Amino acid sequence: MVRNVRAAGAVLWRFRGAGDTPGASAVEVAIVHRPRYDDWSLPKGKLERGETRHAAAVREVAEETGFAAVLGRHLGRVGYPVPEGDKTVDYYAARAAGGEFAPNEEVDELRWLPAAAAADLLSYPHDRVVLSRFTEFPPDTVTVLLVRHGHAGRKKLWTGPDDQRPLSPTGRHQADALTALLPLFGADRVFSVPKERCVATVAPLAGLLGVPVVPEPALAEAPRPPDSPRGPTDPAPAVARLRDIARAGGTPVVCSQGGVIPGVVGALLADLPGGSGVEPDELKSPKGSAWVLSFTPDGRLVSADHIPHPAQADRA
CB 34 within 8 A of CB 110: no
Q: Beta strand 44-46 with 39-41: parallel, antiparallel or unpaired?
A: unpaired
pLDDT digits (tens, 9 = 90+) for 6-17: 999 999 999 986
The predicted pLDDT at position 227 comes to 61
The predicted pLDDT at position 215 comes to 98
Q: Beta strand 27-34 with 39-41: parallel, antiparallel or unpaired?
A: antiparallel
Over 50: is that where the pLDDT of 24 sits?
no
Which residue pairs, CB below 8 angstroms and at least 24 apart, start in 157-162?
Answer: 162/195
Residue 297, phi then psi, degrees to nearest 5: -60, -25
How far is the C-alpha of 20 from the C-alpha of 42, rounded, in Å? 20
Q: What is the length of the chain? A: 316
Closest alpha carbon to 64 in 85, 25, 36, 23: 36
- DSSP letter at 22 equals T
Alpha-helical (H) ranges within the chain are 53-65, 115-121, 125-134, 169-181, 196-209, 236-247, 261-268
Closest alpha carbon to 306 in 265, 272, 254: 265
> What domains does the chain contain, in order, with CATH numbers?
3-134 (3.90.79.10), 142-307 (3.40.50.1240)
Over 60: is that where the pLDDT of 314 sits?
no
Half-sphere exposure of 79 (CA within 13 A, CB side): 7
Calculate the alpha carbon distances from 310 to 9, 79, 87, 205 in Å. Answer: 18, 22, 21, 14
How far is the C-alpha of 134 from the C-alpha of 228, rounded, in Å? 46
Strand-pair partners of 99:
67
**CB neighbours of residue 160 within 10 Å:** 9
CB 196 within 8 A of CB 184: no
pLDDT digits (tens, 9 = 90+) for 92-147: 999 999 999 999 999 999 999 999 999 999 999 999 999 999 999 989 899 999 99
Report how far Cα 283 is from the mean position of its chain's Cα atoms.
Answer: 16
Q: Cβ contacts of residue 37 below 8 Å, gap of 6+?
A: none
Burial label for 275, CB within 10 Å (0-12, 13-18, 19+), is exposed
Over 90: is that where the pLDDT of 52 sits?
yes
Burial label for 11, CB within 10 Å (0-12, 13-18, 19+), is buried
pLDDT digits (tens, 9 = 90+) for 255-272: 999 999 999 999 999 998
| pTM check: above 0.85 | yes
**CB neighbours of residue 51 within 10 Å:** 17
